Amino acid sequence: MPLLWLRVALGCYAIGLLYALLALTQRSYLLNRIALPAMSLGMVFQFVSLSESVLVGGPVTITLVHNSESFLALLVMAAFMIVYLVYRTTSPGIVVFPLVFLLSFVAATGQQPFLLTSPGLRRGWLVAHIALIFTGYAALFLSFAASLLYLLQERSLKSKKSSGILLRLPALEVIDEIGYRSLLLGFPFMTLGLIAGSIVAQTTYGRVNLLDPKIFLSLLMWAVYMVMVFTRWNAGWRGRRAAYLAAGAVLAAVIAWSANYFSAIHRFVQS
């Protein structure tokens, strides 16, 4: 059943994907009107899907790799919705919707249930680790989306040609604020998530090797994240430089994620 709900959610997200793809080339009144309700409906189904699998298998099912992707998608959507409620703009959807679709797609089509295992696992810490880190990821993605929109809007203003889609983006400063706020909010989550993760690792393995790819890359990502927050706060970096940094942080996050497949201590194994 959870998989069924997830697939229904995926169907809803497909509408959002279509909206995002077409938003850059043309405006469709129909899509504009249905994209947001469709995405909200998708969230509901995804939530149902996840709740059901937690109810059946306990909180640790979140650590199943495909569930975790679905969970991440849900958090990203939630972050998007918060931005929508505060700023009344769906523009970040242009970047967020495809990502959510992709995550849900991978989650819905994956067959083997991998399980993140470490012997003698501390369940509470592990779930906290995942939830915190993923919230941090969601905020980071959103910030990245905002910096892409910032670049688009900035280019349109500089080129002095007003084309349709760009006129509908929020004002430059508003986009910047969205990006900065999600960055700021995401940072504590990311930090606490890493701390929770290191507690799990400590209690499981004792001393851990800092050069383990997963740990190294996670720390690298955190460092990039911190540099982003710092430069934005201190020097007001935005626009192109902020976008490069955000892209770097997202890249580091993706690599850190893929390190799950070759890290010694943080690995999904077939159950």
Contacts with other proteins, residue ranges (CB under 8 A)? 153-154, 157-158, 160-162, 167, 170-174, 234-241
Q: Which is nearer to other proteins, 123 or 168 (CB)?
A: 168
Q: How far is the CB of 173 from other proteins (least distance, A)?
A: 5
- How many distinct helices (H) and strands (E) make up the chain? 9, 2
Minimum CB distance to other proteins, residue 26 (Å): 15
Minimum gap (Å) between residue 52 Cβ and other proteins:
42
CB of 28 to other proteins, least distance (A): 15
CB of 163 to other proteins, least distance (A): 10
Contact in structure between 212 and 264 (CB atoms under 8 Å): yes
Which residue number, 84 or 216, has a Cβ lying nearer to other proteins? 84
Give the shortest CB-25-to-other proteins separation in angstroms: 18
124 versus 236: smaller Cβ distance to other proteins: 236
At how many degrees (to 10) do helices 2-23 and 93-109 cross?
Answer: 150
Q: Tokens standing for 215?
A: 């740990």
Residue among 129 and 238 whose Cβ is closer to other proteins: 238
Between 93-109 and 65-87, two packed helices, what is the crossing angle to 10 degrees?
A: 160
Query: Minimal CA–CA distance to 250: which of 206, 198, 186, 157?
Result: 186
Nearer to other proteins, 81 or 172 (CB): 172
Q: CB of 146 within 8 A of CB of 97? A: no
Which CB, 37 or 173, lies closer to other proteins?
173
Q: Residue 35: which residues within 8 A CB-CB, separation 6 or more?
A: 15, 16, 18, 19, 90, 93, 97
Closest CB to other proteins among 88 and 207? 88
Q: How far is the CB of 23 from other proteins (least distance, A)?
A: 18
Beta carbons within 8 Å of 177's beta carbon, 6+ residues apart: 87
Nearest Cα to 202, choosing from 121, 115, 134, 116? 121
Q: Are the CB atoms for 225 and 139 separated by under 8 Å?
A: no
Which residue number, 51 or 173, has a Cβ lying nearer to other proteins? 173
Task: Quote the CA–CA distance of 134 and 137 in Å, as a whole number.
Answer: 5
- Output the smallest distance, CB 233 to other proteins, in A: 9
Taking each helix axis from N to C terminus, what angle separates 172-205 and 239-258, rounded to the nearest 10 degrees?
30
Q: Identify each DSSP E strand in the chain by its residue range.
A: 114-117, 267-270
